[in-house]
Amino acid sequence: MITHTARPLKVVLYEGKGAIALPAEARLKVMTALLDKGYAVARVTATGTQTSPPQDDHTLLLLGSFPERQAPALEDVTGRVKIEARDITDLDAESIVALVDKTRGEKPMNEPGKWKPWFPVIDYSRCTNCMQCLSFCLFDVYGVSEENKIQVQNNDNCKTNCPACSRVCPEVAIMFPKYQAGPINGDDVSAADHGREKMKVDISSLLGGDIYSALKDRSAAAKSRFSKERSPDKALDERKKCLTKLVNDGFIPMDVLASLPSPDEILRKSEVAKARAAAALAAQPGAGAAS
């Protein structure tokens, strides 16, 4: 799975000075085909702002219909960016995509359909840096900056289609842009959304303010009951019921639950996360006065 790779190629559909404008239908087909393959494409005409060359050391591929089918030789004056130009007169969209693929060569690139960008995005205009997300996530997605500010640090660890952390955020400040429904998808937060999340925190405080301690107690009670009743079927049944409820409520997808670490590992991780959150909270300005 490729995730952390900068795009190796920037494509420019050039219709400016010295090039012939493409037929409208062909232009749309080429743009659509390249975008759907995962490429970034700029269209440059004689009017409007000009596209900027990449600031990294990647390749700029300029495609255009040129007089006498002769693409110009181009060079970046700074020598940092490799610029290639190709004539695409009479080529159909499929051939143009093949030409771009060939120019990219073996350089890796995320491709649509093979990977879904799924990770939390923090709305810092709402976030109060309470660290509940850091304490909650068992997959180490969250971390803390040098300024003790909550950050998404390991987005590759996030479990696809799981929006659970956004639901424990008391300020509805965590978004998943690829989620279908609002406000998790980034839609405006209504008073009702906010109230719903606050209610969840209240439920959490009913459990003693520490959901992991409650889970630990529950696990201990279950172990004790299991040892008394000696009924593995009953224990398994109860576990299935709990998981089914979480899935049916849309809180956590089934495959995420299936990938959870062992109970011991969960407890260990939760202790580590709690300690990190507590340290970050203690280091925040005014923490001493508030406590």
Binding site for another protein (CB under 8 A): 3-7, 10, 24, 27-28, 31-32, 35-52, 54-56, 110, 112, 115-119, 121-124, 152, 155-156, 175, 177-180, 182, 185-188
Per-residue tokens: 226 = 């299991």
Instruction: Compare residues 59 and 270 and give the one whose CB is closer to another protein.
Output: 59
Residue 106 CB, nearest approach to another protein (Å):
18
CB nearer to another protein: pick between 138 and 158? 158
Q: Which is nearer to another protein, 192 or 289 (CB)?
A: 192
Q: How far is CA 119 from CA 13, 65, 68, 130, 184, in A?
A: 32, 40, 48, 19, 12
Q: Which is nearer to another protein, 62 or 175 (CB)?
A: 175
- Both tokens of residue 220? 């201990």
Q: What is the dihedral of CA 22, 23, 29, 35, to 10 degrees?
A: 30
CB of residue 113 vs another protein: minimum separation in angstroms?
A: 8
Pairing of strands 59-64, 82-87: parallel
HEC readout, 160-228: CCCCHHHHHCCCCCEECCCCCCCCCCCCCCCHHHHHHHHHHHHHHHHCCCCHHHHHHHHHHHHHHHHHH
Q: Tell the smallest beta-carbon distance from residue 59 to another protein (Å).
A: 13
**Beta carbon of residue 174, minimum distance to another protein (angstroms, whole number):** 9
Q: Smaller CB distance to another protein: residue 55 or 248?
A: 55
Quote the least distance from Cβ 19 to another protein, whole Å.
13
Nearer to another protein, 28 or 272 (CB): 28
State residue 72 phi and psi, 5-degree precision. Answer: -70, 155
Q: How far is the CB of 109 from another protein (least distance, A)?
A: 9
CA distance 5 to 12: 20
Residue keyed to tokens 């909550």: 150
